Structure 1
Amino acid sequence: MPKYSKAFIQAMPKADLHLHLDGSLRVESLIDMAKRAHIELPSYTPEGLYEKVFKSHYNNLGEYLNGFQYTCAVLRDLENLEQAAYELAVDNQREGVTYIEVRFAPQLLMNPSNGVTFDTIMHVVNDGLKKAKTEYNNSAEVKAGERPPFEYGIINCAMRMFGKKGFSPYYTQLFQLMRDFEPMQVIKTAAMELVRASVRMRDDEGIPIVGLDIAGQEIGYPASEFREVYEYAHENFLLKTVHAGEAYGAESIFEALTQCHADRLGHGYSLFSPEMIEDPDIEDKQTYSRNLASYIGDRRIAVEVCLTSNLQTNPSIGDIKNHNFKHMLDNRLATIICTDNRLVSRTTVSNEYELALSTFDVPLKRLKDMVAYGFKKNFFPGNYVEKRAYAKKNISYFDEVARQHGLTD
C-alpha cells in the first residue's frame, strides 16, 4: 500500500462537496459569536466544548446533532453568519482545498419578525464566501497561474422534518400560519418555497446557488415525499444531491435516484449493507444491493463519502477498516472524500484523505481519479466549458504536486 505524506495530501488540490456551514464553524469563533449574540453555551472554552458537545466519538446520531442547536443559534446573527462563511472558505484554502460546495438550511436561520429573510441570508453567506475567494485569487501565485484559483457554490438544504416549535423562528411561524394542515404538508410547503426561492435568487440576483439537498432524519421521512420539490429543481436546471443511505437502507438510495433525479448521493453508506434494507418487497437483499451498485457505477453517479462522520453517527461500524468505502472502491464507484461537518466531526479534508489512504489500498492513479471526481462531479456555478477548463487546471496541478513529492504512477 503506497504511503502518502501529510505534506503531499495538504498540497494536492482538493474539493469538498459535502460541507455543512452550520457544522463547520471554528470553535473559537463560535464562542466569540455566542458572546456577541448573547447565546448561552455549555462552556466558553474550546476544551470545554470539545468535552461536552463536539466530541471525538458519539453514542448515536442524536448526540452528534446536539451541537447544531448552538451553531444555528449564533448564525441567526447576520454578522456572525458572514464571518462563518468567510472563515470556512479561508480554512479550506489553507489546506489546499480549491473548490467547496457549502450547504446549509437557510430556513433554520430565517427570522421573519426581525426582517431576516431568505434573500438576506443568501446575500450574507455569499458575501462571506466571495470575500475569501477574492482575497485568495488576488494572491501572486494564483495570478501567475502557479496555483488553481478558488471557486465555490452554495447548496440549499430543505429539511425532511421539523417540529411546531423550537426548530427556528421561520418554521414555528409557518406552523402557526398553516395550523390546520397536516405536518407533512407544512414540511413539504417549506421545501417547495425553498427551491422556488433558490431558483429565483440564482436567476435574478446571480447568487451561485448550484444545488438542492434534503437533510434531516431519513427514517420515517423518505425522499419520495419531496418528489415535486425535486421535480421543480430538475425542470429549472438546479442540480440535485440527496442525503441517502446514511441511516437507512439501500432502498432510500434507489428512491433518491428514481424519485428525486439525484445527480450525486450524500453518504450512500448503506449501499453495501444489505442487512439494513427494510422494504419487505425486496426478498433478495444481496442481489438488490449488487444491482443498485452496478447501476450507480455505470452511470458514474458520485458518492459524497464522509468517513469520520459515518463512524461517529453509526457506532456499529466500529473500526474504519469496516467502512463500506472499501466496497465502493472495489466496485469502482465515483467517490469524493468530504468532511460533512468540520467542527462537529473535528476533521478537515486533509484528515479525511489521510484516514482513507492509510486504511485502504489506493494507488496514485486511483487517488488522482478520486481527486478528479471532486472537480468533474461538482455543481460548478459556471457553464460546462468553464467547468471543464477549471477541472483540467486542478488535475494538472495534482500531477505537478505529485512530481514535486516524488510520486509517479
Structure 2
Amino acid sequence: MELTRELVRRAPKVLLHDHLDGGLRPGTVLDLAARAGHALPAGTEAELAAWFHEAADSGSLERYLETFQHTVGVMQSAEAITRVARECVEDLAADGVVYAEVRYAPEQHVEQGLSLDDVIAAVAEGFAQGMDAARTPAGERIVVRQLLTAMRHQARSMEIAELAVAWRDRGVAGFDIAGAEAGYPPTRHLDAFEYLQRENAHFTIHAGEAFGLPSIWQALQWCGADRLGHGVRIVDDIEVADDGTVTLGRLAAYVRDKRIPLELCPASNVQTGAATSIAEHPIGLLTRLRFRVTVNTDNRLMSRTSMTDEMWSLVEAFGYGLDDLRWFTVNAMKSAFLPFDERIALIDGVVKPGYAAL
C-alpha cells in the first residue's frame, strides 16, 4: 500500500508534548485580543499566522519563546482559557489524535485576577467540552489530560507541583518545567521534584533542547524525570564512525537501556536550531538505535504543524512506513502518564486496531 498524507492523517496518534498556549487558532487569537484590548503585530488571520511562524523561525529558543507574549496575553480570563482548551481538543481530534497530554503554566494566566485553581478548572472545563464534542457516533472519543508546567526562571515550582498532586484525579496527569534552559538548570527546582517523587507523581522535564548533556544528566540523575521534554541533544553522547559503527556514551546508553522516553519535536527543533533540517534531525539515528522515541508537535501555531505534518515529514525524510508510525505511537502510549490498564486498553483497543484497519 502506498502511504499517503491522508492515510497518515487517519492513523491514530498519541501526543505527549504539546503546549496549550502554543496551539491557538490564529482567528481565536484575533478575536480574544480584540475583546481584551491586547495589541497584536498583525491585523488579519493570515498575516498573524505568518507572523507567529516567522518570529518563531529564527533559530533561537529565546526568540521563539517571545511569541508567547501574545498567546498568553489573550488567555487571562476563564472564558478565554476554556475556549482555547476546547478548540485544542477539537483540533487534535480532527488530526487523528486519540490521546494527548497538553501542558501549560498556570502561573502565566493570573494577571487579571484568576487564581491558579481557577486556571486549572477553566482548562479542565474546556477539555471536557472538547472531548464531548469529539465523541463519535460509536462512542469513541479522544482522551486529553493536563500537564501543569512551572517556569524554570521563576520560583513557583513547589506550588505548581502541589497543584499537580491535588488535581491528579481530576484530569491532571503530571508536572513539567519549561522555559529557557541556559542559566536555569532543573536542579534549581529539586525540592519540587523530590516532593513529586514522595507523592508517587509523574513528571517530565524540558531538557536537552537548547542546552546539552548536563541538562539531560541533571534532569534524570538529580531530579528523577520520568521523561525528557525534547532530549534531542542526547545525540551529543553518541559517536558515529566513518564506517557507520555507533558508540554510545554512558548517558546515552543509560537513556536507551532504561527506556526513558524522548519527547522529540522535529519541526520545533529545526526552528530553534536544535536540528538543521528534518532530514538531518537526530530522530533518524535515535530511531535506528531504538531509543524510546516519540513524535510530538510542541507548538502547533508557532511551527504551523500538526501530528499529521510531523509524521508525514518523517515519512518524506526517512522513508518510514505505517509500521514505523505505529511504533512511534505505541512508544508514546506506553510512556503516557496514565494508569497501566488504561494505556493497555488504548494500545490494544484503539491504536493497534486503528493501524490494522489502514
1:93 aligns with 2:93: yes
Once the 2 structures are TM-superposed, how far is the Cα of residue 274 of structure 1 from its aligned partner? 4.7
Once the 2 structures are TM-superposed, how far is the Cα of residue 3 of structure 1 from its aligned partner? 5.6
Secondary structure, aligned partner of 2:69:
helix
The one of 380, 384, 395 equivalent to 2:351 is 395
1:239-276: CA deviations, max 9, x gaps? 1111010011112111111112111111111111259x
1:216-255 aligned within 5 A? 216-255=179-218
1:385–1:53 Cα change, 3 Å = closer
Q: 1:361 and 1:61 mapped to 2: Cα distance?
A: 29
Q: 1:290 and 1:49 mapped to 2: Cα distance?
A: 44
Secondary structure, aligned partner of 1:98:
strand
Secondary structure, aligned partner of 1:322:
coil
Q: Answer whether contact 2:293 2:331 (CA < 8 A) is retained.
A: yes
Once the 2 structures are TM-superposed, how far is the Cα of residue 38 of structure 1 from its aligned partner? 1.0
Secondary structure, aligned partner of 2:58:
coil
Q: 2:342 and 2:46 mapped to 1: Cα distance?
A: 44
Alignment-derived partner of residue 169 in structure 1 = none
Counting matched residue pairs gives: 350
Alignment-derived partner of residue 54 in structure 1 = 53
Alignment-derived partner of residue 116 in structure 1 = 114
Alignment-derived partner of residue 126 in structure 1 = 124
Instruction: Report the aligned-residue RMSD.
Output: 1.9
1:140 aligns with 2:137: yes
Q: Answer whether contact 1:37 1:77 (CA < 8 A) is retained.
A: no
1:74-109: CA deviations, max 9, x gaps? 001221111000000000101111111010000011
1:294 aligns with 2:250: no
The one of 137, 143, 148 equivalent to 1:151 is 143
Q: Answer whether contact 1:12 1:397 (CA < 8 A) is retained.
A: no
Runs of 4+ in 1 over 4 A off after TM superposition: none
Once the 2 structures are TM-superposed, how far is the Cα of residue 357 of structure 1 from its aligned partner? 1.5
1:32-65: CA deviations, max 9, x gaps? 0100111111112123223433327324223212
Once the 2 structures are TM-superposed, how far is the Cα of residue 394 of structure 1 from its aligned partner? 2.0
Q: Answer whether contact 1:195 1:212 (CA < 8 A) is retained.
A: yes
1:24 aligns with 2:23: yes
Once the 2 structures are TM-superposed, how far is the Cα of residue 231 of structure 1 from its aligned partner? 1.1
Q: 1:4 and 1:253 mapped to 2: Cα distance?
A: 35
Q: 1:265 and 1:239 mapped to 2: Cα distance?
A: 12
Q: 2:57 and 2:119 mapped to 1: Cα distance?
A: 32
Identity fraction in percent: 31
1:303 aligns with 2:257: no
1:269 aligns with 2:232: yes
Q: Answer whether contact 1:212 1:241 (CA < 8 A) is retained.
A: yes
TM-score for both structures, normalised by structure 2: 0.92
1:156-188: CA deviations, max 9, x gaps? 1111104xxxxxxxxxxxxxxxxxxxxxxxx2x
Alignment-derived partner of residue 9 in structure 1 = 8
Q: 1:365 and 1:50 mapped to 2: Cα distance?
A: 33
TM-score for both structures, normalised by structure 1: 0.81
Alignment-derived partner of residue 323 in structure 1 = 281
Q: 1:86 and 1:196 mapped to 2: Cα distance?
A: 25
For structure 1, the 5+ residue unaligned runs are: 163-186, 276-285, 403-409
The one of 304, 313, 319 equivalent to 2:272 is 313
For structure 2, the 5+ residue unaligned runs are: 239-245
Alignment-derived partner of residue 66 in structure 1 = 66
Which protein is bigger by CA-based radius of gyration?
1
Q: 1:210 and 1:338 mapped to 2: Cα distance?
A: 17
1:187-202 aligned within 5 A? 187=155, 190-202=156-168
Give the AA of the match of 2:146: I
Q: Answer whether contact 1:368 1:398 (CA < 8 A) is retained.
A: no
Q: 1:348 and 1:77 mapped to 2: Cα distance?
A: 26
Q: 1:47 and 1:134 mapped to 2: Cα distance?
A: 30
